[in-house]
Amino acid sequence: MTTINQYAMQDPRTQYPQPKFDKQPQSAPGLAQDMDPKPDHGEDSYKGFGRLAGRKALITGADSGIGRAVAIAYGREGADVALSYLPSEEKDAQEVVALLRAAGVKAVALPGDISDEAFSSGLVREAHSSLGGLDILVNVAGKQTAVKEIADLTTEQFEATFRTNVTAMFWLCKAAIPLMKPGATIINTTSIQGYQPSPTLLDYASTKAAIIAFTKALAKQVIEKGIRVNAVAPGPFWTPLQPSGGQPADAIPEFGSKTPIGRPGQPAECAPIYVLLGSQESSYVTAEIYGVTGGNHLP
């Protein structure tokens, strides 16, 4: 992908590639390096301004997609980062580690499966120990597999989607909060699917609705500790989640075309919202859901 100057005034409709795309199926969870066009995570475009200098962050799903873009942005804003991802995503993750170290911050790679309770709890402790603290928890990792009919949606998939998207978030937040100081923040990742569910994403959309309620309830609970909790609700974003089963294969060529902007979002376009919510600039913001949807509005 040609490097985009995110800071130059331009037409957002043509700022990044528009449909049509190739079908390009992948096995789950997918790799960013195998996508065409390759997603922009801010590798060459994101510039930092020191807004997270000295912060310690744990980011799940940090190997690719939105999680990767957030990790790159956080590192360039001065934060040390612990990266959580599946072992099968090691190739993508090591690219992120190299980018963070080039930015002069600490990068700790912590592969494993967050759908396992023992791993999730240990992940938070290891991130806290390795970074020397934990100021920001960013929950991005998620499972999404399109299924046309409820008759074909297995109990195994339904439970695995909830375990990855909702239960793991609960475990991570529960383990992190006792380690956090006033001023710390938690940022969850929901979706426009939590408000406008697609018929093929019955289980996934249900988890994203649950994340909205979880975020708002937890925010009201922990503000008495000086901890803020918010969530970002992306629309259609060009990430490995989509061609690796997150969308029906026939939907990939026109993916994102039904947004008012007319194209899918790139991960680099979402990262600045996570930076804002992780920084002191958003000190009066908690229990909020920030939409990044290409014009398909949230309620």
C-beta of residue 57 within 8 angstroms of C-beta of residue 74: yes
Active site residue 46: no
How do residues 39-85 score in pLDDT, each as one tens digit?
999 999 899 999 999 999 999 999 999 999 999 999 999 999 999 99
How high is the pLDDT of residue 2? 56
How high is the pLDDT of residue 248? 85
The residue-averaged pLDDT of 160-182 equals 98
Q: What is the mean pLDDT of the chain?
A: 95
Catalytic entry in 16, 46, 195, 204: 204
Q: Identify the CATH assignment for 50-292 out of 3.40.50.720, 3.30.1330.60, 1.10.3720.10, 3.30.465.10.
A: 3.40.50.720
- The yes-or-no verdict on residue 162 having pLDDT over 60 is yes
The residue-averaged pLDDT of 277-289 equals 98
**Which residues contact residue 104 at a Cβ distance below 8 angstroms, ignoring those fewer than 6 apart?**
none
How high is the pLDDT of residue 245? 78
Query: Which two tokens mark 223?
Result: 């503000």
Percent over 90 (pLDDT), the chain:
88
How do residues 207-254 score in pLDDT, each as one tens digit?
999 999 999 999 999 999 999 999 999 999 999 888 887 888 889 999
The residue-averaged pLDDT of 77-100 equals 96
Q: How many residues does the chain have?
A: 299
**Which residues contact residue 172 at a Cβ distance below 8 angstroms, ignoring those fewer than 6 apart?**
58, 60, 114, 120, 123, 124, 137, 139
The domain ranges of the chain are: 50-292
Query: Which two tokens mark 165?
Result: 């998207």
C-beta of residue 32 within 8 angstroms of C-beta of residue 39: yes
Q: Map tokens 């990266």 to a residue.
A: 83
What number of other Cβ atoms are within 10 A of residue 174's Cβ? 14
The residue-averaged pLDDT of 162-182 equals 98
